[in-house]
Structure 1
Amino acid sequence: MSVMPADAHLPVAHLRPSRNWINDPNGLAFHDGHYHVCFQYNPYGPEHANMHWGHFRSPDLISWEELPPALAPMPGGEDADGCFSGNAVSDGDRMIAFYSAFRTDRWAQPVTTAESRDNGVTWTQRGSLLIPELPDGTTMYRDPYVWREAGRWRMLVGSALADGRAAALLYESGHLEQWEYRGPFLDRAPQPVAPGADTGLGWECPQYLHADGRGAVILSAWDPELGPRRTVVYTGREQDGRFLAAAPALLDHGPDFYAPALLPAPDGRWLLWGWSWEARDPAWVREAGWAGLLTLPREVTLAEDGSVRQRPATELLALRDERAVTASGETAGTVVLGTVGPSFDLTARLEPRAAGTTGGLRLVTSADSAEYLDIKIDPAAGELVVDRDHASLDPRAHGGTYRVPCPEARAVSGAPVELRLVVDRSVAELYLPSGRTLTLRFYPTGGAPWRIEARAGGEGGLGYTVAAWNLRPYTMRYASDVSAEPALTDVSGVLR
């Protein structure tokens, strides 16, 4: 059955339990006819503590079932202080989860495993370490990613090295038990990746997408003082156990996206989920009783130009309900296009009529028009700008202006700007035809319906063609909430 949230900011088409804390997606696998999506989960409250693996599964990416937590810390065991991030593989009649065992030392988290033989309903944890010794020179070590390639099993582990490099370390195995360390698959000192941003002193959650001799290594940039920062991607190819990489790029240009994980689908697609954290003050989070969500599943491809491209999974078109907005025309000022509910899927084609035309779309979420989210064309920079400074009248919500490259927006291009925007109550995901994305959180205080406007400024008018559909919620069957008091170490505030 579908359960509609009472909280106006709790999403209906993004995966998360009905309450408590979640962060990184983990254990993504297709097994026995189901997509399995696990995630870092505190079943006792909305703080980063008591790390379990929560677990959803689905036959079609639309109908979801919440299973009991897949992994729980074992008192006195190697993972006594938390079952941290990793992935899972399908191997015959079993699923095997590889994960970071957290005990005392939050920076060094050796690899251990768990196994399920009933399609993820129950799991047996190993109880000992799979890889007990960390390579010399590592100062941070965590988050295994395992895959099968050319008849062998391979593993990347995220790390930071004592000499200042971040690294994804490579292991290989014939049968998932004994693993040979091959050395760094990719390593770099911090490199610029965007204005004011670099690739980090350490890498978490390494992921490897590969096809037709080419590949992309996805890495979550981490800093020992600041914690999680951003997600970057290196494209290139492998040679003799090393990844020969081009310049890095941001995987997502928004402020609220981190630790994505890949799932190789049975039809050959690569699917990706990310963690979208909260952008509101901790007191509000505690009041709400929940924190974090997983992004929409995204199809990820390697383009001929070497870029990584993302778009919402095709299956999500089935969530579109009746078309709420159908509008086309031209404006030199502001025009109301129609209204939508708080969860919707929008496509737009915007055509500036002159080189100096600015403007774009505004999502107005309050009756007095004081609360709104803007998506604006910057013709001088060739970017789309997403501005959430006025997106919530509650001062506990974070603001900020964020940019995603959009060469069509440049004044001299003369090309239309196309976009797809999926909004689900408190999360917005922007997708461009180039495959670039921008993810952010915002917290409207006004009630539905919300109003869509086209706005033009500067010289000339703005042509527009816009369609929007309200979203149906996922079909969701929730497990019972855990209510017992935890007997585990509280690591609140120790994000990663």
Structure 2
Amino acid sequence: MVKPKQEAQQNDNVTKPPVQANSYYNELYRPQFHYSPEANWMNDPNGMVFHKGEYHLFYQYHPYDAKWGPMHWGHAVSKDLVHWEHRPVAFTPDHNGDIFSGSIVVDHNNTSGFGKDALVALYTQNKDGHQVQSLAYSTDDGNTWTKYEGNPIMKDFPDPDWRDPKVFWHEETKSWIMPLAAKDKVMLYTSPNLKDWSFASEYKPQNASGATLLECPELFPLPVDGEKDKQKWVLTTSLGDGAIAGGSGMEYYVGTFDGKTFTPDKPEAEWIDYGADFYAGVTWENAPNNDQYRTMIAWMSNWKYANDTPTSAWRSAMTVPRKLELKTSQNGEVKLVQSPIQELETLRGKEKSYPSQVIKPNTNFLANAKGDTVELVADFKVDEMTTSKAFGFRVRKGDDQATSIGYNNEKKTIYLDRSFSGESYFNDQFAKVHEAPLEPVDGHVKMRILVDRSSVELFGNDGQVSITDQIFPKGSSDGIELFSSDGDVTLESLHVYPLNRIWGNSLFHSNLSGWEALNGRWADTISGTQGSDTVDSFKLADSRGKDFTYETDVKIGNQGAGGLVFRSDKTAKNAYVATIDQPGQMVKLWKKVDGEASILATYPAKIDPETTNHLKVTTEGKEIKVHFNDQLAIRTKDNSLSSGYFGLNVWNGTSTFQNVNTYPKK
């Protein structure tokens, strides 16, 4: 009989009370104030709309893996653009294909016939490289969606890469406008009703070539310098490759739009962000202040390495929401400026302020400052007295790593250097310096820096330029340094704020505690704790039992099996496992002894994907019973293991467990 060593020292019929340790959103590299999915893969933001006091964020989502795969639309909502509430997956693939990027509008005038103020989603569907545009609508504020029976509404695609509709209402022409990316150009369509679309014009950027892939275009008006009678139009596009920092990135054009044709003021594009991790950014439709500024959020990653970043259970995050405005620059050109939304300031902890002083080389008055979620707001005076060649900060600093954010006074550039930021093995182009041109304004260089556990966002001179980069340092690397190289610089002011996390407690319900994943990808979600792997993976609690009832509500994803582990040792090399096996369409009881698995009994059962089933195990001595949806499925005897730890198991897929509870045998 195989028994863990400490079995005789514990009362196996008394479960331990749950411990309220909050591991939710607390993994290594997990962003604390940026939006990231609870589990699995995320990329482009989609369908961003403000409706009845809530900001909706949809996004490209693969619910069964932490790498890109068949695209769904994930969903979250917020009242302040800071704190987010996760919602169930909104759109799943159908016979027309996977659900690619798109947008949502509020149909205030019921032009579509779906109802006044209905939410109408327009999105690309991809099936074997064939891309069409489809439509869905919601009459209950985005809680549920009905796919239009006439889908696809646009199917005569001119190019294999024909996607990402970002629709808006054009009041002057009383029509809907749809920009669509088409390989190396932006195509514009018009519609009176969101269903029937006519080609209007196309715009091909000067730098576009056959190798260019444009994605996620958006067209919107903004006042210049806050004056509404000086309105300009902004066209934003995302480049799949060839951006300023390498790989993917975003650019924009300022010009005019007459309801059919966009005409840029100049043919050259401007970069929205000079870092490597700002892509597919779009703005919220129907937002309260859209006539004054737009609020944009972007995918904080890069297609060069997005599938390979070293996060666990989830992959990718969004940038902080940013306020976009048009302002006249020092050289007279009208340019986008951006800044973190004001609501983020509610996350600030106790401020530490520093007065004006001269910063000399090899000194650091921030030696005692620490933080892995922090905001720095600095103003440097740069004039004829400045002898420093470069100055700035090093954040997430440890013994052998740091991320440098600085100003090169000789080149007149602001930069972010992640050459020694931490893990970079996953891509040989990751550990690089990214820089942007920046002239002092009235003899000053300002920096606003947002540091999270796996990212840095830098805004120079009140948002004239920005640089956004992911970083992957050790958890212990939390130092902050202020530096000046080869000379002096005057620091006019510095404000340092710790930033609070935005996430609450896990919604996984269990009377067991001390859960620890032995292998696989595990994360708590709104539906429960989710495990995913291609092989057998285990997660164990710190409670043990001998004779008991053990149960859960379990949902098997698109494939594989999941179930309850009991009488296990700490390695799960000796354990019983009762699983719901979707490919085999059975309930199965099996055991592992010294790592060798064998089946004890099976029971045929209809198991549909994404359906929640109830699984229950009861033990009394050698007897083991397994109930499936309240029906006795298996009753057998085995004396290999008499007691041990409780746990969960997934195999070759994704399973979600909720209400995992155990009760001692009475």
Does TM, scored on the shorter chain, surpass 0.5?
Answer: yes
Alignment check: 8 A CA contact 2:356 2:490 kept: no
1:10 and 1:425 in contact (8 A); partners too: yes
* Residue 190 in structure 1 maps to residue 200 in structure 2: no
**Which has the larger displacement, 47-56 or 231-240?**
231-240
Equivalent residue runs for 1:421-432 within 5 Å? 421-432=449-460
Which of 123, 128, 147 pairs up with 1:104? 128
Equivalent residue, structure 1, for 2:627 = none
Partner of 1:491: none
For the 8 Å contact 1:4–1:12, the answer to whether it is kept is no
Deviates more, 1:277-286 or 1:117-126: 277-286
The corresponding residue for 1:143 is 164
Change (3 A) 1:476 1:436: farther
Change (3 A) 1:425 1:465: same
Cα 1:325–1:290 change in 2 (3 A) is farther
Match of 1:205 in 2: 216
Q: 1:119 corresponds to which residue?
A: 141
Between 1:257-266 and 1:477-486, the stretch displaced more is: 477-486
Please tell me whether residue 347 in structure 1 is matched to residue 381 in structure 2.
Answer: no
- Contact 2:394–2:482 (CA<8 Å) still a contact in 1? no
Distance verdict in 2 for CA 1:287–1:209, change over 3 Å? closer
Q: Is the 8 A contact 1:340 1:451 kept in 2?
A: yes
Displacement of 1:182 after TM fit? 1.1
Instruction: Show the counterpart of 1:480.
Output: 527
- Matches for 1:28-427 after TM superposition, within 5 Å: 28-74=48-94, 77-79=95-97, 82-91=98-107, 92-105=116-129, 108-126=130-148, 128-135=151-158, 138-150=159-171, 151-160=174-183, 166-184=184-202, 186-190=203-207, 201-211=212-222, 212=228, 213-222=231-240, 229-239=248-258, 241-245=260-264, 246=266, 247-264=268-285, 265-268=287-290, 269-277=293-301, 285=309, 288-304=312-328, 305-324=333-352, 326=354, 328-333=356-361, 334-337=363-366, 338-352=368-382, 354-368=385-399, 370-392=400-422, 395-396=425-426, 398-408=430-440, 415-427=443-455
Distance 1:295 1:99 in 2: 22
**Which of 167-176 and 322-331 deviates more?**
322-331
- Give the structure 1 partner of residue 533 of structure 2: none
Structure-2 change in CA distance of 1:178 and 1:324 (3 Å): same
Question: 1:270-314 CA deviation, whole Å, 9 max, x = no partner?
Answer: 110000126997896476122111110111112233101111111
1:494 matched to which residue of 2?
A: none
Contact 1:387/1:400 (CA < 8 Å) preserved in 2? yes
Give the distance between the partners of 1:431 and 1:440, measured in 2 at CA. 12
Query: Contact (CA 8 Å) 1:324, 1:470: kept in 2 or not?
Result: no
Show structure 2 runs of 5+ residues with no match. 1-19, 108-115, 223-227, 506-524, 531-554, 560-608, 610-666
> Which AA in structure 1 matches 2:148?
R
Partner SS for 2:68? coil
Count residues in correspondence: 460
Quick check: 1:46–1:285 contact (8 Å CA) kept in 2?
A: no
Task: Give the counterpart letter for 1:480 in structure 2.
Answer: S
Instruction: Report the Cα distance in structure 1 between the residues aligned to 2:212 and 2:123, rounded to whole angstroms.
Output: 22
Is the contact made by 2:31 and 2:454 (CA closer than 8 Å) also made in structure 1?
yes
Shift in CA distance, 240/84, structure 1 to aligned 2, threshold 3 Å: closer
Q: Measure the CA separation in 2 of the matches of 1:464 and 1:292.
A: 36
Q: CA deviation at 1:414?
A: 7.2
The CA deviation string for residues 339-396 of structure 1, in whole angstroms up to 9 with x for no partner, is 232111210112246354123233343543x211111221222101211111116645
Q: Which amino acid aligns with 1:234?
A: Y
Report if aligned partners of 2:25, 2:503 keep a CA contact under 8 Å in 1.
no
Root mean square deviation of aligned Cα: 2.8
Q: Highest CA radius of gyration, 1 or 2?
A: 2
> Judging changes above 3 Å, is the alpha-carbon distance between structure 1 residues 394 and 25 closer, same or farther for their aligned structure 2 residues?
closer
**CA 1:455 to 1:103, structure 2 compared with 1: closer, same or farther past 3 Å?**
same
Aligned-residue offset at 1:167: 1.3
- Residues 71-127 of structure 1, C-alpha deviations (whole Å, 9 max, x = no match): 1112xx112xx200011111233211111101111xx42110111122222111225
Q: Once the 2 structures are TM-superposed, how far is the Cα of residue 475 of structure 1 from its aligned partner? A: 4.7
Separation (CA, whole Å) in 1 of partners of 2:327 and 2:447: 18
Give me the whole-angstrom Cα distance separating, in 1, the residues matched to 2:181 and 2:254: 17
Runs of 5+ unmatched residues, structure 1: 161-165, 192-197, 489-496
User: What SS does the corresponding residue of 2:167 show, helix, strand or coil?
Assistant: strand
